[in-house]
Every structure is written in structure tokens, then in C-alpha cells.
Amino acid sequence: MSTMFHPLRVRAIQPDTAEAVVVSFDVPQELRSVFGFTQGQYLTLRKEIAGEDLRRSYSICAGVDDGELRVGVRKVKGGVFSNWINEHLQPGDTINVMAPQGRFFVPIEPLAQRHHVGIAGGSGITPILSIMKTVLAREPHSRFTLIYGNRALRSTMFKEEIEDLKDKYMTRLVLNHVFSDEHTDAPLNMGLM
């Protein structure tokens, strides 16, 4: 595990909700092995903002087989780094990034027939999304249930991407949304997690 920072170019910034963006990085060929990741790991980003050297960690939200390195960043009230990313970071900018780290993952067993359950709230979906995508792609006999809490449907990060996964893995992915600030017809889908 490398503790060095490497300058990576921002390939794209996609708005995901009114409060969150997805940042994708270009990884040069010579750094591909350094930035290979295990589902569920995170990246530490470093930037000088207003004269202060800041570092923040964000979970990778891509599946291992997606062929991209990306993180989801939601604005945080008073959050200098997250707000700077959402409001100022642009495609083509360079930001210092440390190699992937973390031990929050499920070992993949291609022949397994398991039932995985992921429980996430808000931006906590990012490592779970990486794990879920990789499990569904690499464990063809396993199932995945996601229980995902948010304030409302409009603030749900990766809503469309998760719905696309549900369409792709209809018999293997069960999705349960829980909303704290939005009324639904099913009482089980309302409340705090």
C-alpha cells in the first residue's frame, strides 16, 4: 500500500443530486497497478484550499470491472473540502490522490451462492455500491439485498444507477428504499435508519 500522493486529472464531474457530484479520474498507464482497487476501498484526496493543506477520504463508487476510478461527494454543511469539490472542481483539473486503502470489503467467490445484504444511508452508499456491483458481476449465483435510507427520493445518490442494476439483475437484486422526510404508500419504507 502506497502512502504517496499522485496527481490525477479529473476526467469528469457528474451532478448526481442537488447536493452531490460524482468525480471520475484519469489514471495514467504507469499508475494503473497503483490504483487497482478492491470493492469497498476508499481514496484520500489532498488539496490546498484557502492556504490550508487538506486531506479527505471518499469511498470508491465504481465496481472493480467498471474500468474507471470514481468517488461520490455530497456537500456537508461547513465542509470545506466537500463543498469545494461540489462548487469549484472542474474536469481537467489535477488533484493529488493516494492509492486505494481500506478493509471494508467482501471477498469475491465466483462459485458461491450467497445472499449479501447491504445497509446504507445517504452518501454511505458509495462503498456499498462498489461492493454490490462487483458481487453481482463476479458471483453469478449470489443475490444482493440493499436497504437504502435517505431523506427523500430526490436526495438519493446513484438513484438511476441503482435502478439500472435492478433492471439488469432482476432476480438477484432486491432494493428497499427508506425515506425519513417523504411519505410513501408502504409504511415499511418510511422512517429513520
| Number of compact structural domains in the chain | 2
Q: What is the pLDDT of residue 187?
A: 47
Q: Is 108 within a domain?
A: no
CATH assignment of the domain containing 125:
3.40.50.80
Q: Is the pLDDT of residue 69 over 90?
A: yes
Q: Is 110 within a domain?
A: no
Q: Is 164 within a domain?
A: yes
Say yes or no: 122 and 88 in one domain.
no
Q: Is 103 within a domain?
A: no
Close Cβ partners of 143 (under 8 Å, ≥ 6 residues apart): 114, 115, 116, 172, 173, 174
Q: Is 107 within a domain?
A: no
| Residue-number span of the structural domain to which 44 is assigned | 5-98
Q: Are 115 and 143 in contact (CB under 8 A)?
A: yes
Q: Among 98, 129, 153, where does a domain finish?
A: 98
pLDDT by residue (tens digit) across 91-103?
A: 999 999 999 999 9
Q: Is 83 within a domain?
A: yes
Say yes or no: 129 and 179 in one domain.
yes
pLDDT by residue (tens digit) across 146-186?
A: 999 998 889 999 999 999 999 999 999 999 998 876 556 55
pLDDT by residue (tens digit) across 109-124?
A: 999 999 999 999 999 9
Instruction: Please state, rounded to an integer, the average pLDDT across all residues of the chain.
Output: 93
CATH assignment of the domain containing 82:
2.40.30.10
pLDDT by residue (tens digit) across 51-66?
A: 999 999 999 999 999 9
Q: Among 53, 69, 98, where does a domain finish?
A: 98
Say yes or no: 19 and 77 in one domain.
yes
Q: Residue 135's pLDDT band (boundaries 50, 70, 90)? A: very high
DSSP string, 67-109: S-EEEEEE--TT-HHHHHHHHT--TT-EEEEEPPB--------
Say yes or no: 172 and 119 in one domain.
yes
